[in-house]
Amino acid sequence: MDLYIPSPTVSALQVGPLSIAFYAVCILAGIVVATWLTDRRLVARGGEPGQPLDVIVWAVPFGLVGGRLYHVITDNQLYFAPGMNPWNALRIWDGGLGIWGAIALGAVGAYIGCRRHKVNFAAFADSAAPGILIAQGLGRWGNWFNNELYGGPTDLPWKLQVHEMDLSAGRAMLDASGNPVVLGYFHPTFLYESIWCLLGAAVLLLIDRRIRLGAGAVFAAYVVIYTAGRFFFELMRSDYANLILGLRVNTWVSAIMFLAAAAVFARLRSRQPSRTGTSEPTPEQAAQN
């Protein structure tokens, strides 16, 4: 019996005139879970319930714009090469968010939200770090629905069946017999990265509870954990990407960010843990951290 992981042949749900992309649903699910967890963790750091949502309504739109800009800039040939439609750069629901653009502009939005709602920025970043990893892990399943971001061919039992998709139509292409076109069987890098992110979030929660890292160090640890995995996943991916000295752009970015975050973590880990507000947490709130 040939074992493999099937991929969806439908990437969007049509409800009347509205098309709901599953990629967007996965991103939204990640945001909801991250918001809930960040709220619990920020309260444990002296914040008020609901404050993270006040900040996140600033961070999310900034992050989405930043993520899309990073993707379009680093993979510009997908939109601006001869024969391509530049307007597709706006079709965020078809996939394509660069995490580093999302983090960079998302942090700008979060900083604005923190200033407006009197939340300590380091406390918010440390509170949000595990939730961001969970959101990234859930968001990767959007790539599964889109049949994208897979690795090289493989015969392993957990190989991923990949279809040729028409994302504008929200479904797989069909052959002459009316069956979905199968491109082949590949490493499920989306699944590897999703598992890595979820395990990383669990490790980050455990470390933060046991060691009580200094202000900003939890977020730095998040970057260290994520980039360590992302470096290798980028080496596995087989989709087209721009290269620098033979390596994908995101491979270089992951390596640089890993080294920078490791240095920042080493500097911040011994400081006082991040706090916001003026009240001391109760034992129950501290246990939620």
Instruction: State residue 283's pLDDT score.
Output: 47
- State both tokens at 282: 């109760």
Q: Extract long-range pairs of 203-207: CB within 8 Å, 24+ residues apart.
A: 204/129, 204/130, 204/133, 205/130
Angle at 34 between CA 258 and CA 26, to 5 degrees: 95
In three-state secondary structure terms, 106 is helix
Instruction: State residue 263's pLDDT score.
Output: 97
What are the backbone angles phi and psi of residue 183, rounded to the nearest 5°? -75, -30
> Tens digits of per-residue pLDDT, 118-132?
999 999 999 999 999
The radius of gyration of the chain's CA atoms, rounded to the nearest angstrom, is: 20
Q: Extract long-range pairs of 165-170: CB within 8 Å, 24+ residues apart.
A: 165/11, 167/11, 167/91, 167/94, 167/95, 168/91, 168/94, 170/10, 170/11, 170/12, 170/13, 170/14, 170/19, 170/21
Instruction: State residue 285's pLDDT score.
Output: 44
Instruction: State residue 93's pLDDT score.
Output: 65
Instruction: State residue 282's pLDDT score.
Output: 47
What are the backbone angles phi and psi of residue 5, rounded to the nearest 5°? -90, 120
DSSP at 92: G
Query: Which residues make beta-bridge pairs with 198?
Result: none
Task: Give pLDDT < 70 ranges for the chain.
Answer: 1, 93-95, 278-289
> Tens digits of per-residue pLDDT, 101-114?
888 899 999 999 99
- State both tokens at 84: 């391509």
Instruction: State residue 77's pLDDT score.
Output: 75
CA 247 – CA 245 distance, rounded (Å): 6
Instruction: State residue 245's pLDDT score.
Output: 85
